[in-house]
Structure 1
Amino acid sequence: MRALTALYYRQKPDLASAAFLVVAFLTGTAGALQVPTLSLFLSGEVGVRPILVGTFYTVSAIIGILISQWLAHHSDKGINRRMLIVWCCLLGMLGCVLFAFDRHYLLLITVGVVLGSFGGTGNPQVFALAREHADHSGREAVMFNSIMRAQISLAWVIGPPLAFALAIGYGFPVMYLGAAAAFLGCALIVWKVLPDLPARKHHPAAHHARVSWWRDPQVRLLFIGCTLMWTCNSMYLITMPLYVTRDLGLPERTVGILMGTAAALEIPAMLIAGYYTRRFGKRSMMRFATAAGVLFYICMTLISNEYAMIAMQLLNAIFIGIIAGIGMLYFQDVMPGQIGMATTLFATSTRTGSIIAGAIAGAVAELWGYHAVFYVAVVSVCTALFCCFRMKDV
């Protein structure tokens, strides 16, 4: 751990790098306030059935993919990435305001989802700009990315308990207005502090990648593997709050504790992974993380004790913490010359996983109950582990 800390401090901090960390924390906070309570918000406040909760996640993911891919395509063609992030944050803020005061399902699943998708797209663009900043300033990209990802995990330590405290104590409008404030703060910092980098030079592989990235077996295998991993995580986020509160009869605060514990443990997992990736390689770290995911979801099918579930979050933290950081860099390395598209493609794997998870979680929960969803997650994460063993190292 001392070697890891020394590696970080050898890279002299600067105002722009510090601002990237704050922006990552704020975008993470905006998401951490909304995601943990969304299924409870839809089922309780809006009053829809489980199948419509799953449909909401699926529609949200589809629209998110379309918007993020469209923006990613243009972001790699030389437009001002910094101002693109500002506008995404402002639209995300408007989406939070809509969720704060409206309870019409059709309006939320259309206008609300579109505004929220722009807000969510700002996050991969922040990481793309951060990678360009690291390359431009000579910082070590893997460690810098890991520290940024740790800020998001830190936000998820604070966010879920705070989200439930605000929703239970003051109501969902206050909670969503808190997320709107995070988006607004993010927009101001990006506008005032983050750098305008020089125009990106054309990479010889960039045009080919735009046309046929999906024909590259390594990119395709990486995308499938990451999609399956995020499918598991999305099924967990959709199902776990309802499973814990309705099937197990535990208090709602337990949901926040579980999510906060996982996020807290993700921070050292990310930082340690960022250090050891240089020694063992990205592929080995992803295999290790996915194996931890297999153990976690097997345990979810077997264990219902509150304290055991909290202890199991160590496996969940290793799984998500490593994949969230190393997976993004893996995409950037196998898609040279298209940092924006590669980073967004990684985010697209998250949203594609949400599409699959929304359809599966809603249908399985409707037919067999919330616990049955975790059996599907075991199959999904085992398939992802198979994909990891087929990948080549980069």
Structure 2
Amino acid sequence: MKRLLPAFMRNAVEMSFMGVTFLTGLAIAFLVPVLSLFLSDELHVRPLLVGAFFTVNAVMGIIIGQVLAKYSDNLNNRKPLIMICGIAGILGSLLYAFDRHFGVLISLGIVLMSLCGSMTPQLYALAREYTDAENKQAITFSTVMRAQFSLAWVIGPPLAFFIVANFDFTRLFTGVAVLYLLCVLIIVRYLPVIPRQIVAPDKSAGSIWQNQRLCLLFLSSFLLWTCNSMYLITMPLYISKVLHWQQGLAGWLMGLAAGLEIPVMLLAGRYSLRIGNRRLMLISGVSAVVFYVVLLLSQQPLILFLAQIPNALFIGILAGIGMTCFQDLLPGYAGQASTLFSNSIRCGGIVAGMLAGTITEWFRFDGVFLCALGLSACALLALWRISSL
């Protein structure tokens, strides 16, 4: 019995990581897709202010995330910080559920949800410390965690729109608060306490941005996430206004890509040691280039559905092992590394919104895909440069 108990505890710990990741992903998938609709229909906010809300939200998320990341890497134990982020998610969700003042939501609401947004990179940082302490494969564990997040996004947005259509925003956001409450309970009960050896700052090393490989990795990740965000913003409009297909086909395309990403993530984690993280990242960059070439050259439904295979390779590998690549380049600073990866996604979203709107206005949708092709090619060159350093 004594020999079985440690194995059981390890399994409970690992399941808690997966459970918190899935519940967090579900909460985000409930909130993000309907947020613009909430601001427009419920608060009757002008489109300009809707855009300002998303911009402030992204910028504040980057600032708070990076500050907390640097602070967390000086803590002996990051579990209490993850709990605080979860509590901020509960309070922020309840504020969205019951407050209808735009000024309150764009200030206090964004601060609370930005604190909450730091929970995901901190959770991945704790997972890296756990796998290192247990002598487990970090890449395999993190990709399985990331697959839980993707699974939540397969089912979350349709369920969120169903709740809004049949009930109201108050019940939806209250549900988000309940999800974060479950996260906090799991964190308190099951997540491990991993005592950390504080890494003494190396003054001779200078800023982390003097790490050339790290800068190139951040640049390539930022460019690839910008391309993906431009695609997600543009594709529904492209399908309805240019191809004149039913809007439902956009959902099927994105759902197919999300479903394919999960096995890609798992396979990337399984074969990362054999193939190598850098080669996998190069495969991700090549797949992105192929995907945007197909979007430019074909408008056939079957071809666009088949194109979701390179799209899934592109996103599945990037999302699955990208964070681990950052952590490998910043040993001992898992919090900052995980947050840098998350901030590359946030920065990509900010730039994608501005680029997609401007390019569509002047050059139509083909210009967006051409821009995405150029950016993905630049990302591929940056990844190739990392391999040669």
Same fold, TM-score > 0.5, yes or no: yes
CA distance in 2 between counterparts of 1:215 and 1:167 reads: 47
Residue matched to 2:123: 126
CA distance in 2 between counterparts of 1:86 and 1:267 reads: 27
Q: Aligned match of 2:163 in 166, 171, 192?
A: 166
Residue matched to 1:350: 345
Q: Aligned match of 1:109 in 99, 106, 109?
A: 106
Do the aligned residues in 1 keep the contact of 2:75 with 2:198 (CA within 8 Å)? no
Unaligned runs of 5+ in 2: 1-6
Do the aligned residues in 2 keep the contact of 1:58 with 1:356 (CA within 8 Å)? no
1:384 Cα offset (Å) = 0.9
Residue matched to 1:28: 25
CA distance in 2 between counterparts of 1:42 and 1:135 reads: 43
1:42 Cα offset (Å) = 4.5
1:66-125 per-position Cα deviation (integer Å, ceiling 9, x unaligned):
100111111111154112111112212332333344555544333332222112110000
Do the aligned partners of residues 236 and 112 (structure 1) sit closer, same or farther apart at CA in structure 2, a change above 3 Å counting? farther
Greater CA radius of gyration, 1 or 2?
2
| RMSD between superposed Cα atoms in Å | 3.0
Do the aligned residues in 2 keep the contact of 1:28 with 1:152 (CA within 8 Å)? yes
Do the aligned partners of residues 33 and 375 (structure 1) sit closer, same or farther apart at CA in structure 2, a change above 3 Å counting? farther
TM-score, scaled relative to structure 1: 0.86
Q: Aligned match of 2:198 in 180, 202, 208?
A: 202
1:254-278 per-position Cα deviation (integer Å, ceiling 9, x unaligned):
4543333222211100011112211
Residue matched to 1:179: 176
CA distance in 1 between counterparts of 2:303 and 2:168 reads: 30
SS in 1 for 2:307: helix
1:365 Cα offset (Å) = 4.3
Map of 1:198-347 to 2, 5 A cutoff? 198=195, 200-203=196-199, 206-208=201-203, 211-244=206-239, 253-303=248-298, 308-347=303-342
Residue matched to 1:192: 189
**One-letter amino acid matched to 2:162:** A
SS in 2 for 1:392: helix
Bigger drift between 116-125 and 248-257 goes to 248-257
**One-letter amino acid matched to 1:202:** I
**One-letter amino acid matched to 1:235:** M
CA distance in 2 between counterparts of 1:280 and 1:27 reads: 31
Map of 1:52-67 to 2, 5 A cutoff? 52-67=49-64
Do the aligned partners of residues 314 and 208 (structure 1) sit closer, same or farther apart at CA in structure 2, a change above 3 Å counting? farther
SS in 2 for 1:391: helix
Residue matched to 1:4: none
Residue matched to 1:6: none
Bigger drift between 14-23 and 43-52 goes to 43-52
TM-score, scaled relative to structure 2: 0.87
SS in 2 for 1:14: helix
Do the aligned residues in 1 keep the contact of 2:121 with 2:338 (CA within 8 Å)? yes
**One-letter amino acid matched to 1:33:** F
1:50 Cα offset (Å) = 5.8
**One-letter amino acid matched to 1:128:** A
Residue matched to 1:3: none
Q: Does residue 380 in structure 1 map to residue 375 in structure 2? A: yes
Bigger drift between 159-168 and 103-112 goes to 103-112
1:40 Cα offset (Å) = 4.5
1:7-28 per-position Cα deviation (integer Å, ceiling 9, x unaligned):
xxx9995110111011111111
Map of 1:2-151 to 2, 5 A cutoff? 14-42=11-39, 45-46=42-43, 52-102=49-99, 104-151=101-148
1:282 Cα offset (Å) = 0.9
1:314 Cα offset (Å) = 2.5
SS in 1 for 2:118: helix
Do the aligned residues in 2 keep the contact of 1:25 with 1:151 (CA within 8 Å)? yes
Do the aligned residues in 1 keep the contact of 2:217 with 2:383 (CA within 8 Å)? yes
CA distance in 2 between counterparts of 1:284 and 1:13 reads: 31
**One-letter amino acid matched to 1:201:** Q
SS in 1 for 2:116: helix
1:141-190 per-position Cα deviation (integer Å, ceiling 9, x unaligned):
11111111111111112112222322333344333333222222111111
Percent identical pairs in the alignment equals 45
CA distance in 2 between counterparts of 1:252 and 1:345 reads: 35
SS in 1 for 2:207: helix
Bigger drift between 372-381 and 132-141 goes to 372-381
Do the aligned partners of residues 356 and 242 (structure 1) sit closer, same or farther apart at CA in structure 2, a change above 3 Å counting? same
Do the aligned residues in 1 keep the contact of 2:285 with 2:379 (CA within 8 Å)? yes
Aligned length in residues = 383
CA distance in 2 between counterparts of 1:253 and 1:41 reads: 21
Do the aligned residues in 2 keep the contact of 1:11 with 1:139 (CA within 8 Å)? no
**One-letter amino acid matched to 1:203:** V
Q: Aligned match of 2:355 in 354, 360, 372?
A: 360
Bigger drift between 248-257 and 74-83 goes to 248-257
Do the aligned residues in 1 keep the contact of 2:73 with 2:198 (CA within 8 Å)? no
Do the aligned residues in 1 keep the contact of 2:74 with 2:198 (CA within 8 Å)? no
Do the aligned residues in 2 keep the contact of 1:270 with 1:325 (CA within 8 Å)? yes
